[in-house]
Amino acid sequence: MPPGKAQQSNAMLYTMITFVALFIIAATCAVIFYVKAEDFKTAQKAMEDRLRTIADSGQQANLSKIIGKTESGQTALGAMADHVNFLVSVITGEAKDALEQTNAAEKVNNANMQINKVLKSMGQDVTVVGGEMGSVALLKQIENLLSQVDKARGLARMAEDELRNTEDLLAQKEQDWRQAEQQLIQAKTQAEQQAIEVQAKCDELKAQMDRSTEEQVQNVMDRLEQAQTQISEKTAQLQAMQAQLDDTEKQLQEALGKLNEWLKYNKEVAALKPDAKIVRIDDQMGVVYLNIGSDDHVYAGLTFGVYDRNAPLPDDGKGKAEIEVFDVSNKVSIARINRSTKNNPIVPEDVVANLVWDSQTSNKFMVIGDFDFNRDGTIEKDGILRVKELIDRWGGQIVNEVTINTNFLIVGDVPVRMYEPTPEEMDANPSLARQYQESIDRSKSYQEIMDRAERLSVPVLNQSRFLHLIGYESLATKSTPF
C-alpha cells in the first residue's frame, strides 16, 4: 500500500477509535447524570411529601400570616412552638424552659386538664362555658365567673344593707323606749310630788275645817275636789304613757323576731349545701360514682341523700334517692343505691349531701327528745343514743347544751309526762314517785332547750328531716349505726 494511503487509513482508524471512545464516555456520563437526576427527583419528592405533612401548599404560601413574624435564623415551626409554649405558660404558669421537653399536643391537653380540674374543684359555684371545639372557653369562663362574683357581691351588699337597716331600726326603737321610760319616770315623780302637795293641802284644809265655819268647810271641799281632779288627769296621762311604752316594746320584740329568723336562715343555708356530685351511673350494677374520694376524707359506709342538680335542697330534706359508699379511691368513690324511684331517677350531675359529714369542718349538734326508728309507734329506749352514734360516725360533735356556737338541734318527740301516781300506788311501788318527777323534769328541760334554741337562732331538725339529710332514712328501720 502506498505510504499516502496507509497514513490516510491510520488517521481514519484513529478518528474512529476517538469517536467511539468519546461516544462511550458521553453515554456513561448520560447514564450517570440520569441516575443522579432520578435520585434528586426521588429525594425532592420525599422532601415535598415531608413538607406537606408539616404544611399544605396553601399554608406554606401563607406562613407569615399564620405564624407571624419570626426571629432572625428562626424556623416557622420553631416560632410556632415558641407561641404554643408562651400560651401554655400564660395559662398554667409553668416555666417556658420546663415546657421544651413536652410535645404540643401534650402541652395543650395538660393545660385543658388543669383548667377543668380548677373548674371542677369549684363545684356548684361555677357554670362551665364551652368553646366551639368542646373545650372550656377560658376568657368566656373568666367573664362568667366575674359576673357570678359581682352578683354574689351584690347579694352580700343587699344582705349587709338589710342587716344595717335592721340594726338602725332596733337602735331607734331602743332610743324611743328609753325616752318613753324616762318620760314615764318623770311623770311618776311629778305625780308623786303633786300627791304629796295635795296631801299637805288636805291636811291644811282639814285643820282649817276643824276651826272654821260652814263656809270655810265648803271652800275646803271645793279645793279638795279640784285636787282630786288633777290627780285623775295625771293618772290618765300616766296610763297613756304606759300604753305607748307597751306599744314601743311590742315593736321592739317584732324587730328582734325578724332579726332572729334572718340569723337562723343564714345558719341553715350555710350548712345545707351539697357535698359532691354524681359523675357516672351503672344502672345494671345499681351503683353510682362520686367525684370525691379518700383525699376528701370519704370512707366506706358513708351515706348521702341525692338531690336534683338544678334545684335547692327541699325544706323537708327528702331527696330523690339515698346511696351508701362501699369503695373509695383517692379522687372517686363508688356507692350502692339504697333507695330510688323510677319516676325521678338519678342522673349525672345530680348532687349529694350529708348534713353531718363535711370534708373541711365538724358541725356541733345537740340531741333531745324520744325517737321511734321503727315507725311502730313505740319509743325506743336507745333512740337518742342511736342518733348520737350516727352524728359521731359521720364526724359531727355532740354538745350537752345549746349555745350560740351550736349548729343544729336534733329533736325527737316531746317526752311524755307520766300520770301522777296515787298515794296507794306510791306505797306499793316507791320508785313511781322518782319516775314521775323524772318525766316532769325531762318534759320541762325539753321545752327550755327549744326556747333557748329559738332565742339563739339555732336551726331545729326533727327525726324525719335529719335522717333524710344524711341519706339514712331507708336504713333506719333495718340497721343500727354500727
| Torsions phi, psi for 304 (to 5 deg) | -140, 150
Per DSSP, 414 falls in state: P
Strand order in the sheet with 397-398: 397-398, 364-368, 408-411, 460-462
Distance between alpha carbon 309 and the CA centroid of its chain, in Å? 13
Orientation of helix 214-271 relative to helix 138-211, angle to 10°: 160
For residue 116, tell me if it sits in a domain.
no
Q: What is the CATH number of the domain that holds 319?
A: 2.40.10
Listed residues 271, 287, 308: the one ending a domain? 271
Q: What is the pLDDT of residues 177-210, one digit of tens each?
A: 788 888 878 888 887 888 788 788 877 777 776 6
For residue 124, tell me if it sits in a domain.
no
Radius of gyration of the chain (CA): 48
Q: What is the pLDDT of residues 418-444, one digit of tens each?
A: 888 888 888 888 888 898 999 999 999
Same domain? 476 vs 361: yes
User: Which cell is 481 given?
Assistant: 349505726
Spatial contact of 217 and 225, defined as CB atoms under 8 Å apart: no
Tell which residue, 117, 109, 116, has the closest CA to residue 130. Answer: 116
Same domain? 255 vs 165: yes
Helix (H) / strand (E) element for 461: namely strand 460-462
pLDDT, position 129:
66
Same domain? 393 vs 445: yes
Task: Give SS3 for 92.
Answer: helix
SS3 content of the chain, % helix, strand, coil (to 5): 60, 10, 30
Same domain? 262 vs 368: no
Q: Which residue has the higher pLDDT, 121 or 396?
A: 396
Same domain? 205 vs 312: no
pLDDT, position 142:
79
Helices and strands in the chain: count of H runs, count of E runs:
13, 10
For residue 32, tell me if it sits in a domain.
no
Same domain? 195 vs 256: yes
Greatest Cα pair distance, the chain, in angstroms, is 213
For residue 187, tell me if it sits in a domain.
yes
Give dist(CA 134, CA 234) in Å, integer. 84
For residue 21, tell me if it sits in a domain.
no
Residues β-bridged to residue 289: 280, 334
For residue 120, tell me if it sits in a domain.
no
Same domain? 409 vs 479: yes
Instruction: Mark out the alpha helices in 395-430 (DSSP H runs).
Output: 423-428
In degrees to the nearest 10, what's the CA dihedral of 127, 131, 135, 138?
A: -70
Helix (H) / strand (E) element for 409: namely strand 408-411
For residue 22, tell me if it sits in a domain.
no
Give dist(CA 368, CA 364) in Å, integer. 14
Cα distances (Å, whole numbers) of residue 269 to 162, 274, 278, 297, 454: 17, 11, 22, 23, 17
Same domain? 213 vs 329: no
- Residue 392: is its pLDDT beyond 70? yes
- Residue 366: is its pLDDT beyond 50? yes
Residue ranges making up the domain that contains 412: 356-482
Spatial contact of 295 and 332, defined as CB atoms under 8 Å apart: no
Q: What is the pLDDT of residues 107-162, one digit of tens each?
A: 778 877 777 777 777 766 667 666 555 566 667 767 777 787 788 788 888 878 88
| Torsions phi, psi for 258 (to 5 deg) | -65, -45
Triad 98, 103, 105: Cα angle to 5°? 120
Give dist(CA 369, CA 358) in Å, integer. 25
pLDDT, position 269:
54
Pairing of strands 408-411, 460-462: parallel
Pairing of strands 364-368, 397-398: parallel
For cell 275646803, the residue is 220
- Residue 56: is its pLDDT beyond 50? yes
Tell which residue, 418, 434, 368, 423, has the closest CA to residue 398. Answer: 368
Count up the domains in the chain and report the number.
3
Triad 282, 286, 288: Cα angle to 5°? 55
Distance between alpha carbon 299 and the CA centroid of its chain, in Å? 21
Q: What is the CATH number of the domain that holds 371?
A: 3.40.50.10190
Instruction: Mark out the alpha helices in 396-430 (DSSP H runs).
Output: 423-428
Q: Which residue has the higher pLDDT, 256 or 346?
A: 346
Residues β-bridged to residue 410: 367, 461
pLDDT, position 73:
72
Q: Which of 159-168, 389-398, 433-442 has the lowest mean pLDDT?
A: 159-168
Strand ranges (E), 193-344: 276-282, 287-290, 303-307, 321-328, 333-339
Give dist(CA 161, CA 285) in Å, integer. 52
User: Which cell is 115 given?
Assistant: 383548667
Torsion region of 238: left, alpha or beta (phi above 0 gives left; psi -120 to 50 gives alpha): alpha
pLDDT, position 169:
84
Distance between alpha carbon 328 and the CA centroid of its chain, in Å? 23
Same domain? 253 vs 369: no
Residue 95 neighbours by CB under 8 Å, 6+ apart: 89
Listed residues 271, 286, 305: the one ending a domain? 271
Same domain? 362 vs 399: yes
Q: What is the pLDDT of residues 209-262, one digit of tens each?
A: 666 666 665 776 777 778 778 778 777 877 777 776 665 555 545 544 544 554
Tell which residue, 394, 371, 226, 215, has the closest CA to residue 301. Answer: 394
% of the chain surpassing 70 pLDDT = 85
Mean pLDDT for 280-290 is 94
Give dist(CA 382, CA 436) in Å, integer. 20
For residue 325, tell me if it sits in a domain.
yes
pLDDT, position 375:
80
Same domain? 463 vs 408: yes
